[in-house]
Structure 1
Amino acid sequence: MTLPPGRAARPGRAGILGRGYVLPTVGMVAIVAVSAFQNLAMATIMPVISRDLDGEALYSLAFAAPLAAGVPGMVVAGTWADRSGARVVTIVSALLFALGTAIVALAGSMPVFLGGRLVEGFGAGALTVVLYVIVSRIYPEYLHGRIFAGFAGAWVVPGLVGPAAAGVVTDTWGWHWVFVGALVIAVGSFVLLLPSLRRLPVPDVADRPAWPGPRIAWSAVAAVAVLGLNTAPDLAGALGPLVLAVGLVVAVVGLRPLLPVGTFRVAPGLPAVVVMRAVAGAAYMGSEVYLPYLLQAHHGFSPSAAGVTLTLAAISWAAASWAHGRIPERVLTARRTFSIGLTLVALGLLAAFVVAVTGVLPVVMIAGWFVAGAGMGIVYPRTSMLTLRLSDRADQGSASSALAIGDAAGAVMGLAITGVAFTAFGGRAATVSFAVVFGAMTLVALAGLALVRRVGPVPAPRG
């Protein structure tokens, strides 16, 4: 008999820290924690970096670059893992991530900084996919909900100390040292995972899929398009919106072959799951980077104080994900999960919009983002679980790649739209620019809410 992921394991069933699972669990959670620290640190200290490197016009590109580079990284890693197993892919991806972080740490100009972010992003995108493959190869399905909750829980410690620590280090020694510290932690995390890689199976030669040359080429097209999207805020007059519109069209053309058939019409099943992930990511990630920015620019917050907003959201994200992993699916169905999650995200964005428009106490926005984090905390693990369940074992690398690509594409497009809007309405100096950002992303979350009914019924967990 198969237990739903939300139920406790019966006697004789190990948990994610049980015998045989503890090392891969600790290693993967540590890697996710490093990524979490990087994300939270960037959102906290990027206003300082942009001033130091004279790159304020490229503010959104600093966040979009690794996401864009991650798209070809995900495609390559997904097929490579299906062909050769996850062992070598994990090692190469980890080395690229570490190399990119080192370049960022040593950067003395914005072009070098962005170059490091591109290398880092390619490695991070590949790692995202390969971690999903490791989960599917090592853990039984009844533990999938728990391990994905563990990934969300990996944001707690970085969420508690990451933004504040990044702010203090930046205030005391400079932002370069934030990335030096992240590099040291990353290397230690990869070392923890190495012993578990020997357990991963290698597919039979007869079962290996061919290298998808066209998919890799289209992923490069999509990556270039989304990078172009995020140069739009730096263009004067009507040229910025024009580049944004053209870039969106090219990005969609490039992404279409990389996503499940039916994604752009939100077909039930895996396509709709990918759309839920993309829409939630666009609304949340497209706004998150502007919360510390608003607090520092118009409310007198220091980088470390502004980071509290992200800390609280990380805590609520992890707590909601933990709860999601323990509620039976018959109670928290897929449609119900996405409806609740996107509603919470929309409420958080609405709170940020109100603060930007009225100038009321920033605590309203901080509380709202706590609510939004909880919404993401139930949407993300459910999309991860459903992706593995709705795909054949031999195709789980490619399916995980599609989910990660949808996630990254949504975030990058969200950042591109908010970047153009932010610049067009006055940038840092005007509160209306922040209001437009938060208002636009509220509409994106509401659009996702309207599409929830397209998810359709999903199969019961496999044994």
Structure 2
Amino acid sequence: MTTTAAVPTDTERLFSTKHLPVAIGVIALVTLGAFENRATISIMPTAARALDGLAWFGPANAASMVTFMVAVVVAGRWVDRAGARAVLLAGLATFAVAQVVTAIAPSMAIFIAGRGLSGIAEGLIDVSTLVFAARALPEHLRAKVFATFAAAWILPSLLGPGAAGAAEALVGWRLVFLLPVLLLIPALLLLLPALRRASAQPDDDEATIVTGSAAEKPLLPALGLAAAVALLSVGGPLAFDGGQHRFAGLASLVIGGAALVATIRAALPAGTLTAAPGIPAVVALRTLLVIAFGGIGGYLPLMLDVTHDVGPALAGISLSVTGVFWAAGSAIHSLDAVQRRLDAAARVRLGLALIAVGGIGPVLLALEVVDLVPGLAGWALAATGMGLSSPSLATEIFTLAPEREHGQATATSQIGASLGAALTTAGGGALIAARHDTLDGGVFAVLMGISLGAAVIALMLTHRMRP
């Protein structure tokens, strides 16, 4: 009797008839989120100026991250108990409300509240989408679906900043926040077959009664962590923007710092702060990865707008570079040859090295040592590294965690990433508030240099990803 190695059949391909509804549905969601993200980041400096709130640019960015931290914990529990479909629909409804609130905001306070709602929506959508895809697809297709997620950012990254700039020039910045609501309609239509398929499955396949330590992860530490980040984000502008609220701002920073120290260990998996092998190390690496990459990319549009005097459309070119080369890195990550020859730690290590080297380009651009093209060429290298690192860490979470705890594991990973982004934004927001009248390239070079340091630290921890 002759035996042959098992070869994936047509039904095991990502875009085969069997998996097509899920693939198309989740890609539509990622594309919608990408358009909203790229357009929002491009238009944020303009909106902040229009609402006379440039000093509050940091809190406006941090608002969605603060609420995201709590939302992902709720979403993780909800998904493990009721399935991904209900959480996903709730997230989409919240998304629509958040965009409308932001668009009609008469003041910076309401604008920040709208961004907070957006973070809730993002938390619900992110966790439910990742778990929905992971449970619906076999393990060998996970790297490929994450590659398609990155590819789904290409068109929004190319068109989103330009569309935001054109909408702002023709109608005003508020339209930029309403456009994603209109795009939600075709995304829902594409998602319906996958949702019908999920609702047709037996309840036991969609929801699992979760037991064990991961299921008992308390919500209170996440609330405390979110409150700490909120206090730190607000405290910076209050303390350093030159206004009359200096002492209130300093008090906010002190209380926020104390709350951060008190809650961070309980909110993250045990051992995260010491990068203990396994899931704690993966969460720690995701946090450092976001600080390393997001701490540069998050300030590139503002840096170009402030120090190089360009409008939203041209400032958003950095986002186009990010999307295209992140997708290129993710496509490389998904290649069968790469998956065979490099384990997850090696792929993350290579990606972090590219971020550390490529990130030097934006620093030199901020200091006006190099021009726009070489500066963004370095950023393209960093984005390629992000495309290699990010999906490797995302798929590793599903490999290390039992299936019944996928929701909780995804949530804790997302909390770590959001914490890294929020701390970067809070620190940068405080510095920008202190220098908002005299911003120069040196401020942005300092912020980006700190991020490069995070990439170097992460490089030294990659060997701890597996227990």
TM norm. shorter chain > 0.5:
yes
**Cα displacement string for residues 321-351 of structure 1 (whole angstroms, at most 9, x for unaligned residues):** 0110114434122222121111222223221
Distance 1:325 1:256, change over 3 A: same
Q: How far 1:249 sits from its partner (Å)?
A: 4.5
Residue 387 of structure 1: aligned partner = 397
**CA–CA distance in structure 2, aligned partners of residues 2 and 187 of structure 1:** 47
Match of 2:143 in 1: 145
Match of 1:343 in 2: 353
List gaps (5 residues or longer) in structure 1. 458-463
Moved more, 178-187 or 413-422: 413-422
Match of 1:294 among 295, 303, 306: 303
Decide whether aligned partners of structure 1 residues 409 and 2 sit closer, same or farther in structure 2, where only a CA change above 3 A counts.
farther
Q: 1:97 to 1:425 in 2, by over 3 A?
A: same
- TM-score, normalised by the number of residues in structure 1: 0.91
Cα distance in 2, alignment partners of residues 2 and 199 from structure 1 = 33
Task: Note the alpha carbon deviations across 1:70-111, whole angstroms, 9 max, x for none.
Answer: 111111111111111112111111111111111112212111
SS at match of 1:296: helix
In structure 2, which of residues 429, 451, 463 is the aligned counterpart of residue 419 of structure 1?
429
Distance in 1, Cα, partners of 2:184 & 2:21: 16
Q: 1:310 aligns with which of 308, 316, 319?
A: 319
Instruction: Provide the rounded CA distance (Å) in 2 between the counterparts of 1:456 and 1:333.
Output: 10
Say if 2:462 is the partner of 1:447. Answer: no
Matches within 5 A, 1:171-210: 171-200=169-198, 201-203=202-204, 207-209=209-211
Displacement, 1:202? 2.6
Amino acid at match of 1:405: I
Q: Which residue number corresponds to residue 461 of structure 1?
A: none
CA distance in 1, matches of 2:228, 2:139: 37
Gaps of 5+ in 2: 241-245
| Alignment partner, residue 46 of structure 1 | 44
Do the aligned partners of residues 108 and 144 (structure 1) sit closer, same or farther apart at CA in structure 2, a change above 3 Å counting? Answer: same
Aligned to 1:56: 54
Does 1:229 pair with 2:238? no
User: Where in structure 2 are the equivalents of 1:39-438 lying within 5 Å?
Assistant: 39-200=37-198, 201-203=202-204, 207-209=209-211, 215-236=218-239, 243-244=252-253, 246-326=255-335, 327-424=337-434, 429-438=439-448
**What secondary structure does 1:231 align onto?**
helix
TM-score normalised by the chain length of structure 2? 0.90
Which deviates more from structure 2 when the two are superposed, residues 152-161 or residues 12-21?
12-21
Q: Secondary structure at the match of 1:264?
A: coil
SS of 1:230 mapped into structure 2: helix
What is the alpha-carbon distance in structure 2 between the residues aligned to residue 311 and residue 361 of structure 1? 17
Report how far residue 197 of structure 1 moved: 2.3
Q: What value does the CA root-mean-square deviation take over the aligned residues?
A: 2.5
Residue in 1 that maps onto 2:243: none
Counterparts of 2:33 and 2:438, CA distance in 1: 27
Q: Give the aligned residue type for 1:207.
A: I
Distance 2:26 2:114 in 1: 23
Distance 1:206 1:405 in 2: 22
* Structure 1 position 445, deviation (Å): 1.6
Find the residue that maps to 1:132 and give its secondary structure.
helix
CA distance in 2, matches of 1:84, 1:190: 20
User: What is the one-letter code of the residue matched to 2:311?
Assistant: S
1:460 paired residue number: none
Counterpart of 1:311, as a letter, is S
Contact 1:283 1:414 in 2 (8 A): no
Change (3 A) 1:440 1:324: same
After the TM superposition, which of the residue ranges 200-209 and 72-81 deviates more from structure 2? 200-209
Structure 1 residue 132 displacement after superposition: 1.5
Equivalent position SS for 2:12: coil
Q: Which amino acid aligns with 1:447?
A: I
For 1:133 and 1:140, how far apart are their aligned partners in 2? 12
Partner SS, residue 265 of structure 1: coil
Greater CA drift, 178-187 or 44-53: 178-187
Distance (Å, rounded) in 1 between the aligned partners of 2:355 and 2:372: 18
Deviation at 1:49, TM superposition (A): 0.5
- Of 299-308 and 195-204, deviating more is 195-204
Do the aligned partners of residues 57 and 426 (structure 1) sit closer, same or farther apart at CA in structure 2, a change above 3 Å counting? closer
Contact 2:11 2:17 in 1 (8 A): no
Kindly state the Cα deviation for residue 13 of structure 1 after the two structures are TM-superposed: 4.1
How many Å separate the matches in 1 of 2:319 and 2:208? Answer: 47
Change (3 A) 1:206 1:85: closer
Deviations 1:136-169 (A, max 9, x none): 2210001101111111111011011111111111
Q: Distance in 1 between matches of 2:7 and 2:66?
A: 39
Task: Give the drift of 1:254.
Answer: 2.6
Report the residue type matching 1:189 in the other structure. A
Query: Number of residue pairs matched?
Result: 453
